[in-house]
Structure 1
Amino acid sequence: MCEEPSNDALKTCLVCDTSYCEACLSKYHPMKAGLARHTLVEASAATPKVLMCTEHPQEKVNMFCETDECLVCSLCKLVGKHKDHEVAAVSDTFQQNKVI
């Protein structure tokens, strides 16, 4: 939220999924009314969200199918409908500056 790049995030709201510096926290997320019920944690303690595969719910998404332009898991590439498609690791896709 911070417009000042020098201000580090101190707190992350687990409900809003947004991190705030001290100034922005008091300005944009005051702990009153409905926001008082939100859970704030230290910014470094916030757990990043993990995307799970829609076809294999037990598998994390870690690949990008360039043919269908969608995120897939390793099982989709090995035995699923994406096995004959052009598939790259998500990190490779980001390095090539492709928009997902």
Structure 2
Amino acid sequence: MDQFLIELSEAKETQASSDVDAKTIKCTNCTDDAPATSSCVECAEYICESCVQAHQRLKFTRNHTINTKEEALIDDKTTTNDEKMLMCHVHPQEKLSLFCETCDISTCRDCQLVDHRYHKYKDANETRATLKLLLNELTYKRDLLNSEIKAIDEREKLIADGKEKLVTKITNMVVRITNTVYMRGKQLEMRLSEVCDGESLDQCNDRSC
């Protein structure tokens, strides 16, 4: 019972701490130190109401996904380490949410606005989706190629086995023919000896040997 009360107390403290954190989160997109009300998925930032409106007005960010602050907090708890590593090394607070097609590299929003301002770019999620399709197609073609290679290997094995059997068959046939010719030769020799011996005997009888 005491253990249950302790665990219940700890759970309440954790929940309270989480609620305090949610209330104290500030907007990381502006310098007004305003409390955050939402979160931009592509920018990976907590933003205030003014920044939400700015996101919706700007062509560069109008298609970004805006979640509530509470949804973002849940996502942060379930985010993997690999996902957390997708941050810009130049601007650590910025997520690599874009892909510069001119330079063929992933960039964050700030990098694209400064170092890649006039470059052609796409949303990183769109690029990932394209790469995923290409990877799936490549995997399919690889599996198809492996299947063809396997079929060729099996056919080559059948040819090799057939050749070995045919060579064995020819060898056995040659041996049989050779033996037959040899035996026939012996039979002819014996027959010749019999004929010759018979003629010699007849000649001897005619002469009254």
Higher RCO (CA < 8 A, seq sep 6+): 1
Kindly indicate which of the two structures has a greater share of residues assigned to strand.
1
Greater Rg by CA: 2
More helix by share: 2
TM bucket, shorter chain: 0.3 to 0.5
